[in-house]
Structure 1
Amino acid sequence: MSACGCTGNNLRPVDEAIEELLGRIPALPPVERVALGDALGRVLAEPLRAPFAVPAWDNSAMDGYALRAADLPAGGGSLPLAGRIPAGDGAQQVLAAGHAVRIFTGAPLPPGADSVVAQEQCRVEEGRVWLPAVSGGEHVRRCGEELAAGAPVLAAGQRLRAQELGLLASFGVARVAVYRRLRVGLLSSGNELREPGEPLQPGQIYNANRYSLAALLTGLGLEVHDYEIMADELAASRDALSLAASEWDLLITSGGVSVGEEDHLKQAIRELGQLHLWRLAIQPGKPLAFGEVGGKPWLGLPGNPAAALITALVVARPFLLRAQGCREVMAQPLRLPAGFAWPRANPRRQYLRARLEQHGGQQRVCLHPQQGSAMLASACWADGLAVVEVGQTLAPGEAVDYLPFSALLG
């Protein structure tokens, strides 16, 4: 058991908290080989070098006619046709001097040819083709032009997107080494919480966090196990956390980490393990906490739905991606003109629900009028988050950092 130095009124800066989390990454999950079709969103565990050159041979970049450029007069001219080469043919026969051959996109250039002329620039008449003047090498994809054999292609720690899967397939890779999905136990805390579909009694609310956080975590490539709602009792919190830590790689809770008398999670963490940090200089989401239970990392997110979502995207996301083996984990903000005024400096960094709108022919970052930490409707309206730094004021038109949800939700 231990206590963290998180008491008092000092708030941890957001960047410092993220750095601490990244410094406490547990051992990476084991490596497994999965079918290429099942690898979307998984993290590559081994680097890949090109097993052969790409393209593997000189080939045509379009449908047309292949020839030796030197065989054509300076002003263009007519050459006899010596056959046709569709994609998939071997093109073993040397192109006879002074001839052209019909060729299709992707088909290998026959030995001797060095150029291709697009078919729409040519005329075919009685076994001959008229071609305009051509420079050597036109419309030819050279062997190794994209990648030389043995060149680095993908690095370990890269999250596989559609384009990486296509590239792996182009090399004939059928199974790929990836890290096993990080297995997360997700717990919600609060006696007031009920599930959608259940009737609400006075003072009760539906559990929005269970669904928004489970969807976010799944989108980040994690395997999520959702537990029953924890009662606001120390013993119940202790039992639920202890069980989850015995079954999963990492624990994430929502609620129960503020300063109220019914917020028992921090004490349960202290009794079961360690509390490393609590309370950040962030708005919304100040009560965020981080520690460990039975050697398993624990992230305690705020209970308010918008605060839980935003802290999960800003603070938890880099930790969760790095814990899965990802190298690049920090979303890069765009620097854009503000479409709003922020006249009062704040002692906490603000993450404001915002979207891009056109004003006077210029794209600006505009805020939703409701920024309460419980309000998810504004997050649905928004396309991202405007970031106002500690102590910063803004006038309309001044530059502000903007984090698109598209950079945060995957």
Structure 2
Amino acid sequence: METNQANQEFQSDFLSVTDARQAIADLVTSSYESSGMHLRKETLPLHQCLGRILASDLLSPIDVPAHDNSAMDGYAFNSSELSDDRQDLALTIIGTLHAGQTEMPTVKSGQCIKIMTGALMPTTCDTVVPQEFTKTLSNGLVSFSSDVVRAGENRRLRGEDLQSGKAAILQGRILRPADLGLAASLGIHQLEVYQRTKVAILSSGNELCDIHESLAPGKIFDSNRYSLRACIERLGMEVIDCGIVRDNPDNLRKAFITAAQTADVIISSGGVSVGEADFTKQMMEELGEVGFWKIAMRPGRPMAFGSLKPSSSKSTPTVFFGLPGNPVAVMVTFYQFVRNALLQLNGAKWVEIPLIPVRSAVGIRKKSGRTEFQRGILFQDDRGQWAVKTTGSQGAGILRSMSEANCFIILHHDQGNIEPGDWVDVEIFDGLL
């Protein structure tokens, strides 16, 4: 009974994942978006804009399409030829129009013209009957039934996709391949984007050694900086690698002050628990403000968030994330808290990743009162239905579980044990675009 009571008291001051995300969003909004001082802009050639964030609405300089044109291969004619009695029509073919052709013959009553997809519509034509619904007669006529096409069908009107002066892509968009193709289709060769957010990373711990060093007894290789660097660069941002910092207040103080002078965001890993050698919290209280420290989640319970005070060389505070030291926990907390914040700090909108419900192929033990991020493998079962299973052992130090996974299985705060066949939410790691 005493153990349970102590555990309840320990859990009572934990933030939920939802509240933690809101706390981060509030700081981003109040400290950065309101001032806009961190949103620096630059103009880049179109081919360098993939993954960058659009800094202003992209207005179309032209109508799309620029002219009325045919939506498919067929025969263009005036809809006045159509009758209500659904009888077959026979129209005289006066020629052929190809895409790119600008000489427009006059199509008169009783006539039609063969037309290719994308070809300009003659001024006297407003309808195209698809070629597969027609029959070509030997006397230069084409025949088709009146009920296979309605007036105005299969014609694309000038500006129906996008009118000149209207926004083609909205500010805050993380630019994807289709966006660059859309810009190119409008004749635009450069875009104004936000400059990349500068993110400083460091690892804290006396037990760490770099991968270029020999592994001495009692030491472990530092993997967190390499995971974090890849996560940040994948977002299209600039990384400042501050290396490994030993568990010493003076070393940490110097590292944080130096990083804050050049970086918009600092991300450290390790040193945020309650151990005697964990000095990150002490430095945060000295140099800035601490947002929170304990989150009701697994893995990743100890986590620091706040900001370092502006310095004489920098007018805005530097956002600080103190992530756990365990390799899986550092990646989970990055993706669940830091990713969206970095994108928003860089001017992005619409940054949420959708959750997809699938059935669990396995049973999963889960305590209510915390959110768990299990590493999962999404697959098709024997019936061709999508299902998910865990990667096996879910220890916070087992980085292989992240390497083998293709999704997070998200077990929400109030959920309990999962039985095989139960629905669970998954968050897929990689997307098509």
TM-score (norm 1): 0.89
Looking at structure 2, the residues matched to 286 and 233 of structure 1 have their Cα atoms a distance apart, in angstroms, of: 23
CA contact (8 A) 2:93 2:142 kept: no
- Compute the displacement of 1:58 (Å): 1.5
Asked if the contact 2:72/2:130 (under 8 Å) is kept, the reply is yes
2:266 matches 1:251: yes
- Residue matched to 1:300: 322
Select which of 371, 375, 384 maps to 2:394. 371
- Correspondence for 1:316 among 338, 356, 378: 338
1:213 and 2:216 equivalent?
Answer: no
The count of aligned residue pairs is 403
Q: Give 1:188-227 correspondences, 5 Å limit.
A: 188-227=203-242
In structure 1, the partner of 2:18 is 15
C-alpha distance in 2 between matches for 1:129 and 1:366 = 63
C-alpha distance in 2, partners of 1:129/1:121? 14
Q: Using the TM superposition, name which of 309-318 and 125-134 deviates more.
A: 125-134
**1:166 offset after TM fit, Å?**
1.8
1:12-66, CA deviations, whole angstroms, 9 ceiling, x for partnerless residues? 1111111111111124421222222222112222223444432222211223332
Match of 1:62 among 68, 72, 88: 72
Aligned twin of 2:128: 116
How far off its partner does 1:91 sit? 4.3
Deviations 1:63-94 (A, max 9, x none): 33322344478554554433332212224443
Tell me, in whole angstroms, the C-alpha distance in 1 between the residues paired with 2:136 and 2:382: 54
Separation of aligned partners in 1, 2:50 and 2:157: 30
Structure 1 unaligned segments of length 5 or more: list them: 1-7
Conserved 8 A contact 1:93-1:111? no
Deviations 1:87-128 (CA, angstroms, capped at 9, x unpaired): 122244432333322322211111111222344555656782
Shift of 1:343: 4.5
Distance 1:343 1:126 in 2: 76
Are 2:26 and 1:31 equivalent residues in the alignment?
A: no
Match of 1:103 in 2: 115
| Greater shift in the superposed pair: 99-108 or 368-377 | 99-108
- Asked whether the equivalents of residues 62 and 118 of structure 1 are also in contact (C-alpha less than 8 Å), the reply is yes
**How do 1:376-387 residues align onto structure 2 when only pairs under 5 Å count?**
376-387=399-410
Distance across 1 between alignment mates of 2:139 and 2:158: 30
Confirm whether residue 163 of structure 1 aligns to residue 172 of structure 2: no
Q: Deviations over 1:267-310 (max 9, x none)?
A: 22222222221121111011111122232111111111111111
Cα distance in 2 for residues equivalent to 1:167 and 1:228: 41
Counterpart code for 1:385: F
Alpha-carbon distance in 1 for matches of 2:295, 2:372 = 11
Matched letter for residue 348 of structure 1 = R
Q: Following the alignment from structure 2 to structure 1, what is the Cα–Cα distance between the partners of residues 372 and 141? A: 68
* Alpha-carbon distance between aligned partners in 2 of 1:150 and 1:24, rounded to the nearest angstrom: 35
CA distance in 1, matches of 2:82, 2:348: 54
Question: What does residue 282 of structure 1 align with?
Answer: 297
- Whole-angstrom CA distance in 1 between matches of 2:302 and 2:168: 42
- The 8 Å contact of residues 257 and 301 in structure 1, kept in 2 or not, is answered as yes
Q: Does 1:47 align with 2:18?
A: no
Indicate conservation of the 8 Å contact 1:117/1:131, yes or no.
Answer: no
Residue number in structure 2 paired with 1:87: 99
SS at match of 1:271: helix
Single out whichever of 72-81 and 16-25 deviates more from structure 2: 72-81
- Range that drifts further, 231-240 or 60-69: 60-69
Asked if the contact 1:186/1:253 (under 8 Å) is kept, the reply is: yes
Cα distance in 2 for residues equivalent to 1:85 and 1:216? 52
Query: How far 1:244 sits from its partner (Å)?
Result: 0.7
Deviation by residue 1:218-240 (Cα, 9 ceiling, x = unmatched):
11121112122112221111111
- Report SS of the residue matched to 2:306: strand
For residue 177 of structure 1, report the CA deviation from its aligned partner: 2.1
Deviation, 1:336, is: 2.4
1:350 positional shift:
0.5
Q: Which piece of structure 1 moves more, 241-250 or 329-338?
A: 329-338
**Deviates most, 75-84 or 165-174:** 75-84
Q: Is the 8 A contact 1:122 1:129 kept in 2?
A: no
**SS of 2:332 mapped into structure 1:** helix
Give, in whole Å, the separation in 1 of the partners of 2:188 and 2:141: 41
TM-score (norm 2): 0.85
User: Structure 1 stretch 12-21 or stretch 252-261: which is displaced more?
Assistant: 252-261
Which of the numbers 402, 405, 409 marks the counterpart of 2:429? 405
- CA separation of 1:286 and 1:79: change in aligned 2, threshold 3 A: same
In 2, Cα distance between equivalents of 1:290 and 1:232: 19
Amino acid at match of 1:37: H
Is the contact between residue 391 and residue 405 of structure 2 (CA under 8 Å) also seen in structure 1? yes
Q: What is the CA–CA distance in structure 2 between the aligned matches of 1:383 and 1:119, rounded to whole Å? A: 46
Give the distance between the partners of 2:216 and 2:87, measured in 1 at CA.
88
What's the RMSD between the two structures over aligned residues?
2.6
Equivalent residue number for residue 162 of structure 2: 147
Structure 1 counterpart SS, 2:171 = coil
In 2, are the aligned partners of 1:18 and 1:318 still within 8 Å (CA)?
no
Instruction: Mark the runs of 5 or more structure 2 residues left unpaired by the alignment.
Output: 1-9, 310-316
Match of 1:178 in 2: 193
Cα distance in 2 for residues equivalent to 1:82 and 1:247: 71
**Separation in 1, partners of 2:72, 2:369:** 60
How far 1:196 sits from its partner (Å)? 3.1
Distance 1:317 1:182 in 2: 12
Letter in structure 2 aligned against 1:23: D
Q: Contact conserved, 2:77 with 2:125, CA < 8 A, in 1?
A: yes
Q: Hey, what does 2:314 align to over in structure 1?
A: none
